[in-house]
Structure 1
Amino acid sequence: MRVIVLSKAPIPGKVKTRLMPAYSAEQAAALQQLMTTTVIEKVCSIYSDVWLAVDEVTHPFFQELATTFEIQVYSQGEGTLGERMQHLMLESFRSNPVPILFLGSDSPHVNPERYKQADQHLGHHDIVIGPVEDGGYDLIAFQQNHPDVLRNIPWSTPSVRNDTVNNINHLNLSVHLLDESFDLDDANDLARALPHTW
């Protein structure tokens, strides 16, 4: 399996803005950096085929991660989150037609067993989704190239997960949903996540 971790450059004022004003822009950017590093570290402890897909490939933080963890850094491309994931999916299956697992950097508190569960269930389903409380998901895994699953999704809304599942059903594909977790978006989420090991 190939794991594709999506992340944004830790630029103050442009990332984790929902943590403000409880935290400063600089603190939010530092947290973004820590979250991305933690997710990459967890993923690399299990998988050897890891892509880091980012908005600014040349950012020093991403280059440092690439060197430290010996991973490849790729551009996410342009467009909506769905369009960027479609682009990455196409590039991934072109280079090596193996199952892929998309992860964001917003769930550093998640036990890596969740990744393994997605991997295992993908052996019996076309797609696996890791639901989160806000109506989205912290991971989505694909057995094969199915870009239409990600079309016409109203990203950053409470209906993301349901709309994705509807697409899957309309395409006559099978899906497995893991147990519900939560993303780290605001100060309350951070307080909940801190007791976890990450």
Structure 2
Amino acid sequence: MTSLLVIAKAPVPGRVKTRLTPPFTPQQAADLAEAALADTLAAVAATPADRHVLVLDGAPGPWLPPGFEVVPQSGGGLDQRLAAAFAGCTGPALLIGMDTPQATPAHLAPALAFDAYDAWFGPAADGGFWALGLAAPDPALLLGVPMSAPDTGAVQYERLRAAGLRTGLLPRLRDVDTAADAAEVSALAPTGRFAACHRRLTAHPAVTR
């Protein structure tokens, strides 16, 4: 049974995308987070898998489309929460975050095929990773990996290689962490909810000060 998971925080002002403030207000940052999450969930919903799972910190809202199983995030650091998400899977699994609204089913679908590979790795432009796929989910592959560090992706990738896993590489994508990231990602995927929200919020820059 293949699982396609999104790990996310509910888009609550002051709890999400805090690096966007300033120039955006906490509410505007939450609006951008909700748009990014909505785009991500739409891409995931359009990608065939046996299970579509939202691993959520917080409560579901009207932004959640039908067809998703919602499970709460575990406690602990991000490595522990990612490991726990994989531990809940009984077959091949691909996990992504909510920070790459430019991701499409064309990015995701290949990483649910494990004929030639045991793992898939999606590097992020900031040195982290935006996607991780495992044919046989093993939480130990994530535990202890330093998160939110410049070498997070390199360490995680080396974990996969050291375990002897044939690892396929996905395209490098940019996470939305800063206002500059938001502008770049909006330009890359101009038809999405995230881009529309970004255009609305930046049409009158004075409101973000």
TM-score (norm 1): 0.89
Letter in 2 for 1:110: A
When the two structures are aligned, how many residues end up with a matched partner? 188
1:105 is aligned, of 84, 98, 105, to 98
Matched, 1:147 2:115: no
1:64 is aligned, of 50, 56, 62, to 62
Q: Distance in 2 between matches of 1:182 and 1:21?
A: 20
1:64 match: secondary structure: coil
Matched, 1:37 2:30: no
Contact 1:107 1:183 in 2 (8 A): yes
Q: Distance in 2 between matches of 1:15 and 1:183?
A: 14
Letter in 2 for 1:157: A
Matched, 1:131 2:129: no
Q: Distance in 2 between matches of 1:11 and 1:65?
A: 12
Matched, 1:83 2:80: yes
Q: Distance in 2 between matches of 1:29 and 1:132?
A: 22
Aligned-pair CA distance for 1:157: 0.4
Contact 1:184 1:190 in 2 (8 A): yes
Q: Which runs of 4+ in 1 moved over 3 A?
A: 63-66
Which residue of 2 is the match for residue 17 of structure 1? 18
1:134-161 deviation per Cα after TM superposition (whole angstroms, max 9, x unaligned): 1111110010122221021110001111
Q: Distance in 1 between matches of 2:63 and 2:19?
A: 25
Go from structure 1 to structure 2 and tell me whether the alpha carbon gap of 1:72 and 1:63 turns closer, same or farther (over 3 Å shift): farther
- Unaligned 5+ runs, structure 2: 193-209
Aligned-pair CA distance for 1:75: 0.6
